[in-house]
Amino acid sequence: MGLKKGVEIKPATGKMGVLMPGMGAVATTFVAGVMNVRKGLAKPIGSLTQMGTIRLGKRTDNRSPAIRELVPLASLNDMVFGGWDIFEDSMYEAARKAGVLTRDHLDPIKDDLDRVRPWKAVFENAWVKKLHGEHVKKGSTKADLAEQVGDDIARFKKENGLDRMVAVWCGSTEVYRRPVEVHSSLEKFEHGLMKNDPDISPSQIYAYACLKAGVPFANGAPNLTVDTDAMWELARRSAVPICGKDFKTGQTLMKTVLAPGLKARLLGLEGWYSTNILGNRDGEVLDDPESFKSKEVSKLGVLEHILQPHLYPDLYAGFHHVVRINYYPPRGDNKEGWDNIDIKGWLGYPMQIKVDFLCRDSILAAPIVLDLALFLDLARRAGMHGNQEWLSFYWKSPMTAPGLYPEHDLFIQLMKLKNTLRYMRGEELITHLGAEYYD
């Protein structure tokens, strides 16, 4: 059977560059974390690639290797970091300002972090209204800016003797926009770059330059970036994997854990009110209504798709779903997310669930950046390109083929991810049918 053969995967030899447009709280927590783990100073908690196992074969076979033993992933020791930001701070300075990690985790790696200095960014205030930075590229056209990003990528590769690279957008959330004509094909997009089309955002310029250079791209924010027809076309033509959007970390992670549970027991939903306070720079950016709109759309989508009110009108038709984010500086990166969930049970009797998640945003996001970098690199070496739906596990708003609704249920997403890994290695897919144990 074809399945048994698996997929040919090139080995993960040589060094791998990780490019990050945006070197703020998430990016620095990820890089500092990898550096700590390399030195044996801390554990990569939350990372499936580093800590996850995968069952192979029957339950009675007792085969549960580590995921990184099943598929050839790049070693943390082979990762080299680079990126862009509108502020000149080195990663050490940026991490100190972000205030996520304490000096216990920053000082032992200070020199390594200090060496990672951002290149000048592609930035337009119209797309992120709350930030003002000087470390910004100048160019006569957007095509010129894309070329400058391409030059940075080529120089980074050469200077570090890299075998290959991946990119993860860790930049601020851009204002909400729908795709328009200029995004409808690669040709129109390239024309738009030359004509300085105002609908082409900075994140789209980075994505274009990365895909042109054959660098897989993951989008950690809700902005369009690689989720347009033009970028899908470029990914196909350059045979590069892409994925997004918006890391699934705190409140939405909980939502996609709880909602499938309610639905599994056919408990109804009257309403789900979610509110947050956070005080980091991300919170400040999201204080702008247009950037918040990108986030709101991304956060609101999940319940509708999980609960399927059209299939279960008695349980879920017309439930109220509200999401708020409040910028509250004293909290810094330590967000508090409250959920009030009004549910109903037998004969319609009402009940409530309250969730108060005192989380740390970047602590939850950092392992996701690591996994995405490693899995996208794996996908590239396995010859997979275009949208990597099996990585939906990591996204609030997974990109899907036209006409296909996204799968938001965390457990289905995990099953899909693991089955994809099994498929890559020619292992049996696990269906959980299990009839053979009783034959």
> What minimum distance in Å lies between the beta carbon of 280 and ligand NAD?
5
Q: How far apart are the first and last CA of the chain?
A: 24
Q: To the nearest whole angstrom, how small is the minimum distance from the Cβ of residue 277 to ligand NAD? A: 14
From CA 252, how far away is CA 306, in angstroms rounded? 12
Residue 209 CB contacts under 8 Å (≥ 6 apart), including other chains = 146, 147, 149, 150, 153
In the complex with ligand NAD, which residue's Cβ is closer, 208 or 247? 247
Between 56 and 366, CB nearer to ligand NAD: 366
User: Closest Cα partner for 25 from 374, 361, 304, 331?
Assistant: 361
Closest approach of Cβ 141 to ligand NAD, in Å?
Answer: 17
Residue found by looking up tokens 């949208």 in the block: 387
For the chain, the farthest-separated pair of C-alpha atoms sits apart, in whole angstroms, at: 72
User: What is the binding site for ligand NAD (CB under 6 A)?
Assistant: 21-27, 84-87, 98, 121-123, 128, 131, 133, 170-173, 202, 220-221, 246-247, 249-250, 280-282, 285, 361-362, 364-365
State the minimum distance, in angstroms, from the CB of residue 221 to ligand NAD. Answer: 3
Tokens of 430: 């696990």
Nearest Cα to Cα of residue 209 among 75, 117, 119: 119
Residues 295, 286: contact at Cβ < 8 Å?
yes
Cα Rg for the chain, rounded, in angstroms? 22
* Smallest distance from ligand NAD to CB 59, Å: 35
| Closest CB 113 distance from ligand NAD, rounded Å | 15
Rounded CA-CA distance 371/391 in Å is 9
Strand partners, 360: none
How far apart are alpha carbons 199 and 351 in whole angstroms?
46
Is the Cβ of residue 222 or residue 268 nearer to ligand NAD in the bound state? 222
Q: Among residues 189 and 247, whose Cβ is nearest to ligand NAD?
A: 247
Q: Rounded CA gap, 38 and 46, in Å? A: 16
Nearest residue (CB) to ligand NAD, 28 versus 163: 28
d(CA 223, CA 259): 25
State which residue, 163 or 246, has the beta carbon closest to ligand NAD: 246
Q: Which amino acid appears at position 297 of this protein?
A: V
What is the smallest separation between the CB atom of 180 and ligand NAD, expressed in angstroms?
20
Nearer to ligand NAD, 122 or 259 (CB): 122
Min CB(220)–ligand NAD separation in Å: 4
φ/ψ of residue 134, rounded to 5: -105, -15
Alpha-carbon torsion 280, 285, 289, 293, what sign?
negative
Q: Given the complex with ligand NAD, which of 249 and 316 has the nearer CB atom?
A: 249
Residue closest to ligand NAD when measured from CB atoms? 24
